[in-house]
Amino acid sequence: MFSVTEVLKATNGKFLTVSELTRIKGVSIDSRTIQRDELFIAIKGLRCNGHMFVADALKKGARGTVICSKNPIPPYVMELAKKTDCFIISVSDTLKAFGEIASFHRKKFDIPIVAITGSNGKTTTKEMVECVLREKWSPLKNIGTQNNLIGVPLTLLKLADKNKSAVIELGMNRRKEIKRLAEIVRPNIGVVTNIGPAHLEYLKSLEGVYRAKRELLDFLGKGDIAVLNNDDAHLNRFRKKELKIFTFGIKTDSDFQAKDIKRERNGWRFSVKGESYFIPLTPYHDIYNSLIAISIGILFNVKSEKIRESLSNYAPLENRMARRIFKGIEFIDDTYNSNPLSMENAIKTLADYRAKGKRILISGDMLELGNKAPYYHKKIGALVACSGIDDFIGVGKLMRNGFLAAKKSGMENTWFCQSKKEVVTLLKRIAQPDDVVLVKGSRAIKMEDVITCFITSFTH
């Protein structure tokens, strides 16, 4: 994949030891899974420091390693490297070096790369776009949500001759992260799904979120393409003369606008530019995600019948509005993450759901909202109360604000639980066959435990 000289050039590093062999077969940041003749990059993470495992990587056959100059290598590791004919390159920042190596590799491929960011819907949109492009364009994509400064380089390093395109999701929770990811990916098509109150602990305001997401658009250059949500008040004001801007929306006249929207038994049917499409997904907001997939498909000259077929066969990822029925109770698992905008979408989805029994919402805390957390949790509680949802169960310190707001707004069937275990006990008492239970919460809380515990408590 790389020559040692290319690694040195990409990282702007310096040799501490030199190997007679000149090529490496791949790049790894995990000494547990590293393969012979790969390059090991020692990254310092939140849980452990990769420099502790350099010796392990070399013993397993790594061809060389990139280390940080601030982490002195013990003499025995230097001796091991010389003994095994391995090179060691020292750099000032191994995480930055990792990104530079990935970017160096990306530059070898003259292909269209779609970068997707936004407050909500990034992963679903990425999966839908990949689904639409799969047959004609053989796209590379992030696995799951490998969308950060480690996951994106890991993804790009998998680019191969078979890939005629790539669809890369970019995530962030601080300013300048999207800018750095864009520098690594070097996309020529940028998509922003929406702007919502997420990561406010660091970004402070919706305007701060917009500025952070706009870093992708600011990176794009002359002749590049931006695909933007025209129903979003922040995005529909964006202008950049050298870009080709295409819009999508439902409420606003757009280049790709969903019209004649109809709720069907297992999803939504709508038309775009006179063509009819169907998505087998429950949430209304997934129409927006599918509009992006349709727009990218059309821009990539994929035939409308192939786009239609791809979307009609699309299946949601785990923890994203995934349906599961147990003892006649239908669970909607939307536990991947939660913020005010995605929570509002979930409430609308459940409120509009065709259920024979009750519609029950279980919500854990929404994290990373900073000092605005009480306000947004109260807002969610009040919204649930007037939505038509039958029962509301809040769990967590922050969601207590939502519970109290729902109660204050006149909602009778609302409960607050201190723990997920308490939620399961309550759910066993109030849930009946034909009820629909939507479960949601921020990723760190792992609200999927509620569904798992409810089911296993009957089967074990």
Q: Is residue 219 part of a domain?
A: yes
- Is 103 part of any domain? no
Of 266, 230, 260, 269, the residue nearest 248 (C-alpha): 230
Domain boundary among 97, 125, 150: 97
Same domain, 308 and 410: no
**Of 262, 285, 312, the domain-final residue:** 312
383 and 283, same domain (yes or no) = no
CATH code at 93?
A: 3.40.1390.10
Shared domain check, 204 and 119: yes
Q: What pLDDT is stored for residue 460 in this prediction? A: 52
Which tens digit of pLDDT belongs to each residue from 184-198? 999 999 999 999 888
Do residues 47 and 164 share a domain? Answer: no
Mark whether 29 and 80 lie in a shared domain: yes
Look at residue 22 and give its three-state secondary structure: coil
Q: Tell whether 104 is covered by a domain.
A: no
Residue 57's domain comprises 2-97
Whether 331 and 183 share a structural domain? no
Give me the CATH number covering residue 172: 3.40.1190.10
> Does the pLDDT at position 451 exceed 70?
yes
Task: Locate 75 and state its tokens.
Answer: 């003499």
Q: Indicate whether 434 belongs to any domain.
A: yes
Last residue of a domain, one of 60, 76, 97: 97
Tell me the pTM.
0.87
Do 151 and 222 lie in a common domain?
Answer: yes
If you count them, how many residues does the chain have?
Answer: 460
Claim to verify: residue 306 and residue 342 sit in the same structural domain: no
Report if residue 212 sits inside a domain. Answer: yes
272 shares a domain with 165: yes
pLDDT tens by residue, 134-186: 999 999 999 877 899 999 999 999 999 999 999 999 998 888 999 999 999 99
- Position 367 in a domain: yes
Q: Which residue has the tokens 């990769």?
A: 50
Residue matched to tokens 């939660």: 338
Task: Count how many domains the chain has.
Answer: 3
pLDDT at 309: 97
What CATH number is associated with residue 435?
A: 3.90.190.20
**Is beta strand 414-417 parallel, antiparallel or unpaired with respect to 391-395?**
parallel
Query: Is 281 part of any domain?
Result: yes
- Mean pLDDT for the chain overall: 93
Element (H, E) at 267: strand 267-272
Domain annotation covers residue 102: no
